[in-house]
Structure 1
Amino acid sequence: MIKLIGILIIVIGFALKLNAISIVMAAGVVTGLVGGMTIPEILTTLGDTFVSNRYMAMFIITLPVVGVLEKNGLKQVAGDLIGKLKKATPGLIAIGYTAIRGALAAFNVSFGGVAGFIRPVICPMAEASVEKDGVKLEEEDRDTIKAMNSAAENIAWFFGQVLFIAGSGILLVKSTLEPFGYEIDPAKAVQAEIPVFVLAVVVSAIYFIMIDKKIMKKYKKKSGVKTNDK
């Protein structure tokens, strides 16, 4: 039971609102000590774990970059750009992004995901496509648009990355099944994934259109009432 003291340290540390990194480090060191590890062994384990998982923290780098871009008007520029396209709607933007994102995923090209691209670029464009008529989006509908665009990113990347012949998804399937006697040809696996990807895009597009029609109907009505009052 004493080996679980690390969990207790984390619970107490967060309850006291102490520094999160310090709490986790302390819990790891204490757990290692009660488990019979020496200080050099603990430091070696921490170092090896950090090196082997360093790419998992790369998204942290995007946060200050996105913050600087937003401070200098990235969202405004994205909104102004889409505001010039009269037929643009949140649903059409989400559908277009899903198709383009999935096609580029087939070449293992990444835009930065939800935090790096959807929030600072796509969401302002989708919101501006509604607000260009002079109406103001309600917070609930703004959240719906954010969720729709986030779904577009996740669907496109989830199904599109397997179209890359050397992608992690294909290699995972290959390495998992071959020990059991199943020979996996990556090229044939990609061919089998193409109709799955197309179906995913079509199904998501239908769902996005349903959401789009509901939102646009609501705000076109608001825009018409406002115009008539003038």
Structure 2
Amino acid sequence: MEIFKLIGILIIVVGFMLKFDTIAVVLVAALATALVSGISIVEFLSLLGDAFVSNRLVTLFLLTLPMIGLTERFGLRQQAVKLIEKMKGLTPGRLLSLYMVIRELAGFFSIRVQGHTQFIRPLVEPMTQAAAETKYGSMDEVDIERIKARSAATENYGNFFAQNTFIAASGVLLITGTLESLGYKVSAVSIALSSIPVALIMLILVTSSNIIFDKKLEKKYGEKANLSSKKERND
């Protein structure tokens, strides 16, 4: 029956629920699906090898991990924190809003910022957390995790909604080629210009969200931070 060919999905769901090794679960699911579909083990291994070779560029990000480890080992994270601690009045929301502007400008000029592993993890997130701790003191684990999530989300928003503002971006060329193949006369310039309002709207939404986030932190930690500051001045 055709429904048995969906056994791979069941294996993946169960494997993830039981928190088994991700790669092992996916491989077992693929093998089970292949056998149920009448594909031999030799054919399955051939397909698996072809897929790996065709998508080998996806694994290149692993080469950046040793670099990130070395930069953190020799103090990049600590220096970023020290820099933020010297800036008075800087809040997590303001810092992330500033990064959103930088990220969208980088997309507009096609400047490679390199995303989460190379930029957010070693620089932006520690700087944002330092800004929060400098202004509010110690924070609970829930808000620290929210800062981490918001830092990663800002990268996603800036990258996704501003990447097509560059005229020669791969997304712009793909859209142009697809529409032209369907008989629509468009240019890369018109696609890029149409993407700019979307990027600006997203910038406004992210900035507004960050302002609300700052107000929540101020409401939760502001009074405690003010009392601590007054106590230090009196001492």
In structure 2, C-alpha distance between the alignment counterparts of 1:16 and 1:202, rounded to whole Å: 41
The answer on whether the counterparts of 2:136 and 2:222 sit within 8 Å (CA) in structure 1 is: no
Gaps of 5+ in 2: none
| Correspondence for 2:163 among 140, 158, 161 | 161
Instruction: Give the C-alpha shift of residue 150 in structure 1.
Output: 2.1
User: For residue 141 of structure 2, what is the aligned residue in structure 1?
Assistant: 139
For 2:195, what is the secondary structure of its paired residue?
helix
Gaps of 5+ in 1: none
For 2:110, what is the secondary structure of its paired residue?
coil
In structure 2, C-alpha distance between the alignment counterparts of 1:213 and 1:16, rounded to whole Å: 39
1:17-166 → structure 2 map (5 Å cutoff): 19-133=21-135, 135-166=137-168
- Letter of the structure 1 residue corresponding to residue 141 of structure 2: E
Bigger Cα displacement from structure 2, 153-162 vs 177-186:
177-186
For 1:132, what is the secondary structure of its paired residue?
helix
The reply to whether residue 189 of structure 1 matches residue 187 of structure 2 is no
In structure 2, C-alpha distance between the alignment counterparts of 1:141 and 1:10, rounded to whole Å: 32
- Letter of the structure 2 residue corresponding to residue 73 of structure 1: G
**1:66-125 CA-partner distances (Å, limit 9, x unpaired):** 344334433222111111111322111111111111111123333332333212211111
Q: Share of identical aligned residues, percent?
A: 42
In structure 1, C-alpha distance between the alignment counterparts of 2:53 and 2:167, rounded to whole Å: 27
In structure 2, C-alpha distance between the alignment counterparts of 1:176 and 1:136, rounded to whole Å: 52
In structure 2, C-alpha distance between the alignment counterparts of 1:173 and 1:214, rounded to whole Å: 40
Task: Give me the CA root mean square deviation.
Answer: 2.8
The answer on whether the counterparts of 1:160 and 1:197 sit within 8 Å (CA) in structure 2 is: yes
In structure 2, C-alpha distance between the alignment counterparts of 1:34 and 1:134, rounded to whole Å: 58
Count of aligned pairs: 230
Instruction: Give the C-alpha shift of residue 35 in structure 1.
Output: 3.1
The answer on whether the counterparts of 1:89 and 1:216 sit within 8 Å (CA) in structure 2 is: no
For residues 26 and 69 of structure 1, do their structure 2 counterparts lie closer, same or farther at Cα, with a shift above 3 Å needed? same
For 1:58, what is the secondary structure of its paired residue?
helix
User: So what's the TM-score if we normalise by structure 1?
Assistant: 0.83
For residues 38 and 124 of structure 1, do their structure 2 counterparts lie closer, same or farther at Cα, with a shift above 3 Å needed? same
User: So what's the TM-score if we normalise by structure 2?
Assistant: 0.81
In structure 2, C-alpha distance between the alignment counterparts of 1:197 and 1:12, rounded to whole Å: 39
- Letter of the structure 1 residue corresponding to residue 158 of structure 2: A
In structure 2, C-alpha distance between the alignment counterparts of 1:156 and 1:193, rounded to whole Å: 12
